[in-house]
Chain A
């Protein structure tokens, strides 16, 4: 079974690109264009990984991460912040909000998947290998 990746991202171009890369690497993609959609999808569709943009309308990525981490059932899911907020302190802020990892934009299509998977737990990696 394919691993499910929830992408929360408002920029269509980015969404398209991330989806393209993930599908090409044998992931199932769930798309959400804002925070509320994202949280709803995270609860209802039990994704295996969440890719999270930080700069979003209404509810930003930090807030979304904080909300997700409040739920016990979502506690162990890797949340990887994918963001153009790449200044000093942005990474720390993302981790403090509950993100597992941090990948800055512009992404490198050649090793984006590898970087994402570096934040997976042992269990998740095994599940990924079986898929």
Chain B
């Protein structure tokens, strides 16, 4: 067995080397310094010496020197194994001293051992000559030796200083850390106090339990809630408080483990036996000993449930109210965009819920209302006022629904408008009634106005012939009036009386028509003779005004028979021809008829002042005389054409006029044959 003498002042190094060498089958002898090594070596000669350099009492170099001086020891290989190698000169110096190998720490064990084995092998086979101590003089040797040692010492001192610096820094850091720990402990205590206080004074019930349901602590609120004191609660445990088994417990525990907390609803039982539903939030945590604990926060849901039920009921009531309301209801968001309408709203607008949303409803309103409606809403949104508007919806079938809309703003807690709630009411019927009323009022006013004008006319028309009657009756009895003059006066009086009679008969007739009591009396008569009759009546009048008067017959005498109301036809012709002469100054009047299929078409054509096409309909209305001073100056009641129209319509015909101002007039009417 090979013996290795190992020299190192550090115990751990010695121990490591000893272990390594023993593992390779060496016997080891350990020395703490060079002197000790020499002593041991003399006692028992080793096969190899492995030495460190820096050691107390005798360093590695001194040892090597002594070693190689000794007659016996010099043949034992000397190996330096050192970590203090800082300079190439160290190895050179060591080899000069006679060292056989200079190995730098650290080395892999195998490599180190291979090196040792190699040294021994070479020694055994004598391949390497025993290193002879250097020839250099002793003084030189000592000088170099000193230098090397001083270098080594300085190096080590430098390292020591560095180490000391480091130690000082460590110490400072350590102090800071200790202070921090102290503070942390204090904070922890404060935090613990705080949480304890929260726990104790919490407005919700809190239980601290183990995973298996043991209760360690219950806060005041929990005691109040359950009616037990804390000790009783701890004794009861979780299972004693929960009503019935807790089926979801294990799943819940897993979930809690996974995500840290869990919520559920559980029924609990109180000391007095009553039960209540509660929301339980449990959080899993670890206590200081690392045990899993659960904090259960229990919130009694009884009141919330009651409130929820009430809310549900209230919501149902309002929903029912909205759904079955007889007025349309809508709500909007803060921008005035519709977000709800009730069924009645849809019914009024004929829009679906979805069509109404946003601004969709506006598209279904009447185009004349859209601008002012959009403007009103913009202003309303800006001012935050309520809104009232009347507008129309146009339905797909083209019918129109009038609505009145009222909406008031809804505000959130900060006073911002969160939306509008409003109603629409269908006022189509009311609108129609209003319009009918307005029309009726206008008509009544017009009618009243017409009657005033009519009365003025009547007054005038009656006074004119009356004037003649009164005047000439008086004159006729004057002295000095010739017989001829008297005859003339009598005739003027007769004419005026006829005129007056005719006026009064017109008035009576129009009253009959007004009262709807005008009757027709049909008999067979000859149309040609009617025309001749009219001609003979107006011939003299026309002649007096220097107007021509002619008539045209559409049928021969024996064919011109008709069954109708002779009086009404005659009156119509008289009126039309009389008017024509009245309104004509130059030219003349022609009239007559033509047979056209199953009807007679009569005409009266003049070259008079003409009639503005705009009033062609108006002139046939009762009490109307074309109302401007020029034509009014022609006098007359304005009843003639109204009577004509009434007559012709009673006879089943039509009457109309074709005329323009200054171009004469052509009146036509038809009578069924």
Contact = CB atoms under 8 A, between A and B. Distances in A.
Q: Do A and B come from one complex?
A: yes
Interface of A: 11, 13-14, 17, 20, 24, 55-58, 60, 84-87, 104-110
Contacts of B633: 55-58, 60
Decide if the interface of chain A is mainly helix, strand, loop or mixed: loop
B471 interface: yes
Given A60-B633, A84-B467, A109 B474 contact: yes
A106 B474 CA distance: 12
A63 B191 CA distance: 111
B459 interface: yes
Contacts, number: 65
A67 B478 CA distance: 37
Contacts of B460: 55, 84-86
B540 interface: no
Interface in B452-477: 455-456, 459-460, 463-464, 466-472, 474-475
B632 to A, nearest CB: 8
A44 B464 CA distance: 30
B662 interface: no
B455 A105 contact: no
A105 B474 contact: no
B630 interface: yes
Given A13-B467, A17-B467, A84-B460, 11 more contacts: A13-B496, A14-B467, A14-B471, A17-B475, A55-B632, A55-B633, A57-B633, A60-B629, A85-B456, A85-B459, A108-B470
Nearest to B633: A57
Interface string B635-669: 10000000000000000000000000000000000
21 contacts: A11-B464, A13-B467, A13-B471, A14-B467, A17-B467, A24-B478, A55-B633, A55-B635, A56-B633, A58-B633, A84-B460, A86-B459, A86-B463, A104-B463, A105-B466, A106-B471, A107-B467, A107-B470, A107-B471, A109-B471, A110-B474
Interface residues of B, number: 24
A19 to B, nearest CB: 11
Contacts of A104: 463
Contacts of A58: 630, 633
A16 B600 CA distance: 45
B634 interface: yes
Contact of A17 (B459, B472, B629): B472
Contacts of A110: 474
A64 B412 CA distance: 77
A13 B632 CA distance: 20
Contacts of B471: 13-14, 17, 106-107, 109
B634 A57 contact: yes
A105 B471 CA distance: 10
B630 A105 contact: no
A60 B628 CA distance: 11
Nearest to B453: A87
A13 B492 contact: yes
Best-surrounded residue of B472, B474, B630, B634 (most CB of chain A within 10 A): B474
Lowest 8 A-B CB distances belong to which pairs? Answer: A84-B463, A106-B467, A109-B474, A17-B471, A106-B470, A105-B467, A106-B466, A13-B468
B608 to A, nearest CB: 13
Nearest to B458: A87
A56 B632 CA distance: 9
Nearest to B485: A20
Contacts of A20: 475
B464 A105 contact: yes
Best-surrounded residue of A58, A60, A85, A109 (most CB of chain B within 10 A): A109
Contacts of A13: 467-468, 471-472, 492, 496
A98 B463 CA distance: 23
A16 to B, nearest CB: 8
A17 B472 CA distance: 7
A106 B468 CA distance: 8
A61 to B, nearest CB: 10
A55 B457 CA distance: 11
Nearest to A57: B633
B204 to A, nearest CB: 93
A109 B477 CA distance: 12
B379 to A, nearest CB: 49
Contacts of B472: 13, 17
Contact of A87 (B459, B467, B475): B459
Nearest to A34: B633
Given A13-B492, A13-B496, A55-B635, A106 B475 contact: no
Nearest to B456: A87
Contacts of B466: 105-106
A107 B632 CA distance: 22
Best-surrounded residue of A24, A55, A84, A107 (most CB of chain B within 10 A): A84
